[in-house]
Amino acid sequence: MPHHLRLRLPVQGASLAVAGLLLTGCGEPADAKDRPAAGASASAAASASTSATTSAPPLKPGEVRVAGQVDKPSTLTLAELRSLPQTSVTVEFSSAKGPQKQTYQGVLLHDVLKNAQPRFDASKKNGQLRGIVAATGGGDYRAVFAWAELDPGFAKSQVLLAVSEDGTPFEDASGPRLVVPQDAKGGRYVSELNQLWVGVVDPVVDGGQQ
């Protein structure tokens, strides 16, 4: 065998070995890289299952959901609200229909929310003053309150979840109405109330949102 051919044989052998390694690495089906790993699939399925389990059921007409950063979320009906201690208040406020004067009867909003056990930070001085409450009513109408507006330890007025107006009970399917005696306008008198969300402003303020 000529000398120059003997020198090239080792190089050819090495090339074949490298080619073999490359083929071995590509031995999985062409679509394998497009399929999620078994562990990832299981994780995604578990996550979807958890979301489905923890998602709140749809509300029935007249029900009010108390949720957010609370230890005891609940759903209340007008009948349940009527069974709780009642408070009566006569209010005057302006609305699109002109000046209004009515007498409402209902449950103190603070009592209902306190029973839900909001997760305020007890390590902070007056940690409850960081609390906010969002009230949602029919037609996705929403109004926000500071916790101090509802807490009798800070506020003089008493915000109600009203179950009747001028002696006439609200229909069960309509739900309660918020009554805010300290407001001059009726914008926060949320009708057909269906959700009360409790939280704190810390995530927004500490997150640097402007």
- Residue 120's SS3 state is coil
Average pLDDT for the chain = 81
Q: What residue has token string 């007025």?
A: 157
Token duo for residue 67: 């949720």
Would you place residue 159 in the very low, low, confident or very high pLDDT band (cuts 50, 70, 90)? very high
CATH of 64-206, one of 3.90.420.10, 3.30.2010.10, 3.30.420.40, 3.40.50.1110: 3.90.420.10
Q: Is 41 helix (H, G, I), strand (E, B) or coil?
A: helix
Give the domain ranges of the chain.
3-54, 64-206
User: Is-contact 65 194, C-beta < 8 A?
Assistant: yes
What pLDDT, on a 0 to 100 scale, did the predictor assign at position 132?
98
The string of pLDDT tens digits covering residues 35-49 is 444 444 334 433 443
DSSP state of 70: B
Exposed (0-12), middle (13-18) or buried (19+): which is 110, by Cβ within 10 Å?
A: buried
Distance from C-alpha of 173 to C-alpha of 59, rounded to nearest angstrom: 11
Q: What share of the chain is helix, strand, coil (3-state, %, to 5)?
A: 35, 30, 35
CA atoms of 198 and 136, how far apart (whole Å)? 12
* pTM score over 0.85: no
